[in-house]
A and B are shown apart, each in its own frame.
Chain A
């Protein structure tokens, strides 16, 4: 069995991994795992990854979680172009520097609108207006920082060329966009960066990757979003409780 990627394209790190593998022509078997159907907590998936986390990579007996680790593994194994994860120590350190900040300030923040607007109501839970407002403020602060510090004088978040950090960053930002928050409006530098990344990836690949998330409001209106089974509730409620 060759390379297998367990993904749910509703998830932003999963989309980053998918874009990376596709753009680099890495052959893989897509194993869709639907988080909203609780498939990540199923017996079947537990045998692949007992951490129940997506994305997950399986390469023979080797199983790996965490999007960054997966992309770095793929870049080494398939010798992808150097710009994705540069050999040069300072250039590589810039990628890791961005990823460190991303873990603290982007990850966990930009996913909140999907939870507060769609997923929490699906379980009959209401996220307080106070928390929603706080999240808006956090996103605004992070976007300011992203523009000034990371995109100040650079074409991409970690340097003059596209790296795996750009994929992780942009897919996070697409999450609120799908929920109707135009984060790029009034932020020309951020919008120009998005256009550069998307030009590089190609419109078709972007569309294919984001189809499900970008139609989430439509799916909600048509009531075609699966109602999560009871076994998925615990982890979902925990995620909702963690919204600061």
Chain B
């Protein structure tokens, strides 16, 4: 068995791994894992692949690996991807947290799970997102073409898949941020528009999703409850 990738394209790190593998012509077997189907990622069978029970996960023969950054760098190494993809700095925890919360607070809780999110919490989430977007534009992107310099790197890929989460939530991420908007166009062009669209289809349509089935909701709630506190 060759390389297998366990992914749910609703998840931002999964999209980064998917785009990277596709764009670089890395052959892999896609193993779709659907969080919204009640989390088969929590099953015992999946625990064999990743004891942490999280996506993305990689299986390469007997070698299994979790965590998107580890997977991206493993693929870079193994498939000798042009080194301009290599990141200088992939730390983006604050950005990731605020994009994730934006989608859950604006869409996933109210629309999919039918749970009320207090206006105060939503406002705090959106304010935090604003701060992180401004920092991304002013302090990381500055006047460069890409986040780490003149060429696209994994840092751009990781960041754009995060921002598209906020876009999926209906946030005006690029409005009033001309530098960030032109950066997005450059990143999209470098990835190819078709691949970009394909990878983001799920998250951009998530606001139209039907409410979760009660049994699925019951399975999902304990894992996501911390996010509305």
Contacts and interface: CB of A to CB of B under 8 A. Distances in A.
B125 to A, nearest CB: 11
Interface in A25-83: 50-51, 64-66, 68-69
B67 A97 contact: yes
Contacts of B91: 66, 68-69, 103
A212 interface: no
A229 interface: no
Q: Dominant SS at the A interface?
A: helix
Interface of A: 50-51, 64-66, 68-69, 89-90, 92-101, 103, 107-108, 134, 145, 148-149, 241, 244
Nearest to B124: A241
B117 interface: no
A244 B73 contact: no
A188 B117 CA distance: 42
Contacts of A134: 226, 229
Contact of A244 (B63, B78, B88, B226): B226
Given A50-B139, A69-B88, A89 B66 contact: no
Given A99-B70, A244-B226, A244-B229, 7 more contacts: A69-B89, A89-B78, A96-B67, A96-B70, A100-B68, A134-B229, A148-B51
Contact of B52 (A65, A99, A145): A145
Given A51-B135, A68-B91, A101-B66, A89 B77 contact: yes
Contacts of B88: 69
Contacts of B51: 148-149
B63 A92 contact: no
A64 B91 CA distance: 12
B66 A100 contact: yes
B93 interface: yes
Contacts of B220: none
A97 B229 contact: no
